[in-house]
Amino acid sequence: MAEGYTGAVGGEQALRTFAAFARRACGPETVIDDLLERQAYSCDGLTAHRAVPGLVFVPRTSDELITGVRELIRLGVPFVARGAGTGLSGGALPETDGVVVVLARLTRILEVDPISQLAIVEPGVVNATLSAAVRDHGLYFVPDPSSQVACTIGGNVAENSGGAHCFKYGFTTNHILGVEVLTPTGDLVMLGGESMDVPGPDLRGVFIGSEGTLGIAVRIVCRLMTLPLAHRTMVAYFADVVAAGDAVTHLIRAGIVPAAIEMMDRGAMAACEAATGAGLSLAWEAALLVELDGTTEEVQAGLDQVRACVSAAGAGEVWVASTEAERDRMWRARKAAFAAAGRVAPAYIVQDGVIPRTALARVLESIRSIGREAGLTILNVFHAGDGNLHPLVTYDPNEPGAYERAERAASDIVRVCLSEGGSLTGEHGVGIDKVCMMPEQFTSDDLATFWRLRRAVDPAGLANPGKLLPTPRLCGERPGRYVTHPLESLGVASRW
């Protein structure tokens, strides 16, 4: 069954018409049509895929957003919503004949209701900004992706982002009560509401994580949680990655629910330590960062249980943070991992796969073999409690064939995840990056059902086309990886 869309799109003339409309209706500063400026939006955090958008639209208010996007729909112009551009799957990769709709100026926290433990925000509010804004009420927004100082809540909704502390409290989908959505047909609709449950099928749950393919979030109702009274954070070191994986399984089986269980192997620890000087011991092959939160009594009892568990699993050394500053150092090291990998190798691919937790030790062993066979160093740093792996496959781009080997190794890792009953992606999304791997996880009937849902909401195929679901055209004629030409690096020539 042929899938995808066949509808005509607007073309050059439609882009010019839109630019004139937006300048008139929303103001000249909402339109970016200069080539060099448009190039700044040619990729998100996945820099291997690039395309210069036909136009960039940067509304300053939700009214401007709605007005502009409705005109795009009327003209049949495809659009790609973009928050801070920190996504790692190319979900915000532009269409060359379409418009990037930048939500980064919609940064108002519209309302905080501490009694109801909710905040209503615009999509461009930065994740960490919301938690900071409600801290005085004793509240915070739980999802905490590593990019939380930059990523937006609209982006979190689009990707159903996770983060280190989602093991205990759930992911973005569990912390969004409602979303007002501008649909790809130009209608405004409230999905969910402002309570913990609303009547009817959970369209909010379908929208969250739909990667911009079912519309644009205009207003988001965030659930806020009470700040825990106490934290205890520790790092347990192991002589072997597999032993650390076993320790996670023991912890879970013992019924312990830490707020976070993060794992790093030796390579990742070395990189993080070099980047932050946090005080990680480099004498071991693997480390688990375990954080407990809750009341003082709960946390102390939990800490004792965790110590017993990791000792039984063979932990060689345990570092328990005794001050808030020590805890901060531990987290700084963990959250610096992706950036720190740049100290180990000039380039790397961040993979994102999920496995059932009980397969952790086995999968880590497979990843080690994949790295060995490819002749590449693979750093492992991930959310061990969720079974969400983030292997960093390092390579030297100057070495002929190295990128291709790294890409193959990264794909092989995901295939190992799938063979264990896992998933292509735990939090980075499918985007453009994994769209052609979707048939490896889903049957043709599954994909056909996804298409039926998508077409029901977006009959014209205007919202982030080419993402999330594969099409024969997309996966048969996929462009190669973007490689910078030396003249581009020198700034003397431009590709477009």
Partner 1 sequence: MSEVSPRSIEEAATWLAELGPDERVRIVGAGTNQRGCPPAARILSTRGFDWVDLRAGDLTVAVGAGVLLSELQSLLATAGLRLAIDPVADGTIGGVVATGSHGALVWRYGTIRDLVIGATLVLADGTVAHSGGHVIKNVAGYDLAKLVCGAYGRLALIAEVVLRVHALPACEGGVVAVVAPRELTGVLEHLRRARLEAVAMDWVSTSGELLVVFEGTSEGVASQARRLCELLASDGLHPRRVEAAALAQLRAERADVRAPATGVVLRVANRASRLLTWLTTIGRRDGVSVGVYPGAGLADLVAAGRDVETLLELGRSAQAAGGQCQLRLLRDEVTCELRELEQSPARWLLERVAAGLDPGGRFV
Q: Residues 351 to 370: which contact partner 1 by CB under 8 A? A: 354-358
Q: Which of 421, 488, 493, 496 binds partner 1 (CB under 8 A)?
A: 421
Footprint of partner 1 on residues 70-99 (CB under 8 A)? Answer: none
Q: How many CA within 13 A on the CB side of residue 146?
A: 20
Q: Which two tokens stand for residue 101?
A: 């709709």
Please list, in sequence order, all residues whose beta carbon lies within 8 angstroms of the beta carbon of residue 273, skipping any fewer than 6 positions away. 279, 280, 282, 333
- Is residue 416 at the binding interface for partner 1, with CB under 8 A as the rule? no
Q: Which residues fall within 8 angstroms of residue 255, CB to CB, at 6 or more apart?
A: none
- Site for partner 1, residues 422 to 441, rule: CB under 8 A: 422-430, 434, 438, 441
Amino acid (one-letter) located at 380: N
Alpha carbons 117 and 127: distance in angstroms, whole number:
16
324 near partner 1 (CB under 8 A) = no
Rg (alpha carbons) of the chain, rounded to whole number: 23
Q: Give the residue with the Cβ less far from partner 1, 38 or 390.
A: 390
Considering only residues 6, 13, 28, 197, which one is a binding residue for partner 1 as defined by CB under 8 A? 197
Q: What is the DSSP letter of 160?
A: T
Assess 200 for contact with partner 1 (CB under 8 A).
yes
Packed helices 241-253 and 360-374: angle between N→C axes, nearest 10 degrees: 160
| Interface with partner 1 in residues 216-275 (CB under 8 A) | 226-229, 249, 252-253, 255-257
Question: Between 85 and 429, whose beta carbon lies closer to partner 1?
Answer: 429
Instruction: Give the closest residue to 206 by CA, choosing from 183, 235, 239.
Output: 183
Burial label for 94, CB within 10 Å (0-12, 13-18, 19+), is buried
Residue 487 burial (CB count, 10 A): 11
The whole-angstrom separation of Cα 343 and Cα 351 is 18
295 burial via Cβ count (<10 Å: 0-12, 13-18, 19+): exposed
Nearer to partner 1, 267 or 461 (CB): 461
Which residue in 455, 460, 473, 474 binds partner 1 (CB under 8 A)?
A: 455
At residue 485's C-alpha, the angle toward residues 483 and 488, to 5°, is 120
CB-wise, 26 or 457, nearer to partner 1?
457
- The binder of partner 1 chosen from 83, 387, 391, 466 (CB under 8 A): 387
- Of 9-68, which residues contact partner 1 (CB under 8 A)? none
- The residue within the footprint of partner 1, chosen from 9, 48, 66, 301 (CB under 8 A), is 301
Q: Which of residues 276-295 bind partner 1 (CB under 8 A)?
A: 294-295
Binding partner 1 by CB under 8 A: which of 42, 131, 148, 183?
183
The binding track of 140-179 with respect to partner 1, each residue x by CB under 8 A or -, is: -------------------xx-x---x---xx-xx-----
Task: Compare residues 3 and 285 and give the one whose CB is closer to partner 1.
Answer: 3
Q: How far is the CB of 21 from partner 1 (least distance, A)?
A: 26
- φ/ψ of residue 386, rounded to 5: -90, -5
Contact range with partner 1 by CB under 8 A, out of 14-22, 52-60, 399-407, 450-458: 450-458
> Contact 432/467 with Cβ under 8 angstroms?
yes
Among the listed ranges 280-288, 340-348, 419-427, 481-489, the one in contact with partner 1 (CB under 8 A) is 419-427
Give the range of 270-278, 315-323, 390-398, 447-455 binding partner 1 by CB under 8 A.
447-455
Nearest CA to 83 out of 134, 159, 32 is that of: 159
Q: How far is the CB of 306 from partner 1 (least distance, A)?
A: 13
- Minimum CB distance to partner 1 smaller for 53 or for 91: 91
Residue 57 and residue 396: Cα distance in Å, rounded?
Answer: 37
Mark the segment that binds partner 1 (CB under 8 A) among 268-276, 333-341, 385-393, 484-492: 385-393
Contact 336, 276 (CB under 8 A): yes
Shortest distance in whole angstroms from residue 440 CB to partner 1: 10
Give 47 or 249: the residue with its C-beta nearer to partner 1: 249
Closest distance between partner 1 and the C-beta of residue 296, in Å?
8
Q: Read off the amino acid at residue 131.
A: S
375 makes contact with partner 1 (CB under 8 A)? no
- Using rule CB under 8 A, residue 209 touches partner 1: yes
Q: State which of residues 8, 12, 28, 115 lies at the interface with partner 1 (CB under 8 A).
A: 115
Which secondary-structure segment (H or E) carries 488?
A: helix 486-490
The rounded distance, in Å, linking the Cα atoms of 8 and 71 is 16
Which C-beta is closer to partner 1: that of 181 or that of 271?
Answer: 181
- Asked if 33 and 83 touch (Cβ cutoff 8 Å), the reply is no
Q: Which is nearer to partner 1, 122 or 458 (CB)?
A: 458
CB 334 within 8 A of CB 164: yes
| CA dist., res. 131 & res. 429, Å (int) | 24
Instruction: Return the residue of 6, 13, 398, 443 that touches partner 1, per CB under 8 A.
Output: 443
By CB under 8 A, tell whether 3 contacts partner 1.
no
Q: How far is the CB of 391 from partner 1 (least distance, A)?
A: 16
Q: Whole-angstrom Cα distance, residue 138 to residue 140?
A: 7
Q: Which stretch binds partner 1 (CB under 8 A): 61-69, 144-152, 188-196, 267-275?
A: 188-196
Backbone φ and ψ for 125, nearest 5 degrees, come out as: -65, 130
Cross-strand pairs, 290:
234, 261
